Structure 1
Amino acid sequence: MNRKLAREMAMKLIFQMDIQNDFSNKMIDKFLEELPEDHQLDYIKKLAEIFINNKEHIDNMIEEHAKGWKINRIAKVDLTILRVALTEIYYMKDIPEIVSINEAVEIAKTFSTEDSSKFINGVLGSIIEEK
């Protein structure tokens, strides 16, 4: 599994956690059990655990920079893509910011609407500019 696919799996995991309102390690383990063994499982688990531990900070950044949008009004897919990207940008220093942003935009093009990729790029750009 390459990193792009691992990001998509991490996005699906965090999306599932959000839908079920269960941000527990048990959810992570259950999700990972269903995936084939691969070295990228460590990345998925690490990203999910980091997100859980920093969810409030990440969500506050999103709401602050998503001009005119409350977090509960942002499409769940877009919110999840932003969460994955910001987890990488702020807490996974081995991943260049530009890579996280570009991957988030590409994932949005695949899993969300055409306008979503522009929205995600704008929010992430605003956060990076402030950072």
Structure 2
Amino acid sequence: MSRRLARETALQVLFQRDLTKETLITAEIVDCWAAEFVVPEASRPFAQSLVDGTIAHQEEIDQTIASFAQDWTLSRMANVDRNVMRLATYEILFCPDIPGRVTLNEAIELAKRFGGEESAKFVNGILDRVVASVSKVEQKGPINK
């Protein structure tokens, strides 16, 4: 299974949605992009789950990004950067089976491939703080009463 191709597919769908303000993202749209990236059939459900999860939790994701993006509003961010960070933040917050550092590295690679000259550095700076904040919460563990 190629998770990188699935992430690229999810990014394209989220980018398109952000650009067109499309509210309904169907499996057909994800399949269309998956075909474009030659995503193996076994990886397509992962792409779909990334898209669905990111959209379902976008408000919380955007709040998280905004809280770590000093002097930047989401609307000022490049569309690619914003959606790379949304996708990665979804993984970091809601996919505990994927290590945060793996997600961070994948996001940096997406930013290098699809973003501008400074995208990887920008994405890394914000997502590194998101990963660190989640790690701190995990380190505290459950509260025993």
- On whether the aligned pair clears a TM of 0.5, the verdict is yes
What is the aligned partner in structure 2 of residue 84 from structure 1?
A: 87
Structure with the greater alpha carbon radius of gyration: 2
Equivalent of residue 30 in structure 1, options 6, 28, 31:
28
Q: TM-score, normalised by structure 1?
A: 0.91
1:53 aligned to 44, 51, 56, which one?
A: 56
Distance of 2:110 and 2:54 partners within structure 1 = 18
Q: Is the 2:108–2:124 contact (alpha carbons within 8 Å) kept by the matching residues of 1?
A: yes
**Matched residues, percent identical?**
34
Structure 1 segments unaligned to the other structure (5+ residues): none
Counterpart in the other structure of 2:137: none
Deviation at 1:9, TM superposition (A): 0.6
Find the aligned partners of 1:33 and 1:65 in 2 and give their Cα distance: 33
Give yes or no for the alignment of 1:17 onto 2:20.
no
Specify the SS of the correspondent of 2:22: coil
What are the within-5 Å matches in structure 2 for residues 1-131 of structure 1? 2-24=2-24, 27-34=25-32, 35-36=34-35, 38-131=41-134
TM-score by length of 2: 0.83
- The CA RMSD over aligned residues, in Å, is 1.4
Say which is worse superposed, 117-126 or 106-115, in terms of deviation: 106-115
